[in-house]
Chain A
Amino acid sequence: MPSFEQVDFAYAAGRLVLEGFSLELPDRGVVCLVGPSGCGKTTLLRLAAGLESPHAGRISGFQGRRAAMVFQEDRLLPWETTRQNATTTPSSDRATEWLVALGLGDSLDRRPGELSGGMARRVAIARALAAPHDLLLLDEPFSGLDEDTWRGAVQRILATEEGGLTLLVTHVLDQALAMGATVVRLQGLPLRVVGQPS
């Protein structure tokens, strides 16, 4: 099982984001991390993705997994089209399918500069979902999307995600409920678990 054991982490000396942090996660299913902004949720996702290394403690159960991530920012390549941006594998078929599923079928050949904020967000979501993965990290993935759009996206995600672990960071409790997520309540700094259903 993926887990954090007594993990310490800091970006700057003297300002610990995680201090002796422990959390056990299920092998599969959706876990939603809820907590005030700046409490360290994104850092937790970054550690799970292997983008940061813990200064102390152990993080296990993530190494063998293939991660896909929707970052807090869209992180689209401004010089690539929607289709190219969503493609991270040799074939662009799955990327195209996901873009069409998320309502971007008319914008496949447009560049990020020509997209609205909500459209760019959906490209970032399509990129993560089209990539082969068994660990899906979603950092406020639906920010900037209206309710109909994110509910539609949630349905598509639930219909296709199977077997893997999804970590969702969101402020909107409805999104966690729609995803059928196990909610883990967090507080910070430093990050600690304040509520976890048995």
Chain B
Amino acid sequence: MLVGQELLVPAPSTVVTTLVGLAGTAQFWQVVGWSLVRIGLGFVAGVVAGCAAAALTHGSRVADALLSPALRVVRAAPVASFVILALVWIPTGRLPVFIAFLMVVPVVWDNISQGLRQLDPQLLELADVFRLGWWEIVRRIRVPSLVPFLTTACATGMGLAWKSGVAAEVISRPYLSIGGELQNAKVYLDTPGVFSWTVVVVALSMLLEKLLRVLAARWNRRFGSAAPGSDPGSVGRPQREGALDAEL
């Protein structure tokens, strides 16, 4: 009875045909392009703000007391609540940017904070003895130590930004957006359209993830450091207690 009911579940061939049809239009590429721009913008801003927040909460107790609880709330709150709240005060075109930003900030903040906490005290002592200036410490020790944490944060954050950004587009429906097209397809009961756009979202998500992974691998190779949690080789991360005997 359900066979032939394209309204419920379209045949894969129908989805492919719809996709091919879509991909042939200039508007399709504009839609994809604008969604990428919006979400990419939010992602980049989120990474920058997340790093800044981590530096602040790590460096100042006041900032930690003010920012950390807020960031934990943001991380725990559902995307939809934010979208609907933000709809009231943010123009529709910028809403997905803001939502992607909001999803990325706590992830980056969390990872970078962890990286800052795990910074090898032995290397800071080294800098102390050899009188490296604060900029040298940042450039040669702090930033490279954080690279593996940043790449992990970016990989997680990108996935979140993309999915939440498209969800925000569905609700706010900016002109030329994948989410808007999804919503349109739904409104016109164009199920093959819904499936096609979903395929586009999934495909782009995988593509972006792949891209980030390649970039991360290149960065990690450039800095020659291992992923967080693994042993970085010649520099250990001794606990205070264990280091005691070695220091005697």
B126, CB-defined interface residue at 8 Å: yes
0/1 string, B214-237, CB within 8 A of A gives 1: 000000001111000000111110
B188, CB-defined interface residue at 8 Å: no
Residues of A within 8 A of B132 (CB): 88
Given contacts A43-B248, A46-B247, A75-B123, contact A113 B128 (CB under 8 A): no
0/1 string, B124-166, CB within 8 A of A gives 1: 0110111110000000110010010000000000000000000
What is the CB-to-nearest-CB distance from B220 to chain A, in angstroms, rounded to a whole number? Answer: 9
B246, CB-defined interface residue at 8 Å: yes
B126 x A112 contact (CB < 8 A): no
A78 x B224 contact (CB < 8 A): yes
B131 x A113 contact (CB < 8 A): no
Using a Cβ–Cβ cut-off of 8 Å, how many residues does chain B contribute to the interface with A? Answer: 27
A69, CB-defined interface residue at 8 Å: yes
**Which chain A residue shows the least CB distance to B243?**
A11
A13 to B93, CA, bound (A): 61
A159 to B234, CA, bound (A): 30
**Which chain A residue shows the least CB distance to B130?**
A88
A78 to B224, CA, bound (A): 6
A67 x B248 contact (CB < 8 A): no
**Which chain A residue shows the least CB distance to B144?**
A79
B234 x A113 contact (CB < 8 A): yes
A120 to B235, CA, bound (A): 11
Q: Which of A39, A42, A73, A188 contacts B236 (CB 8 A)?
A: A73
Cβ-closest 3 pairs across A and B: A79-B223, A88-B130, A79-B144
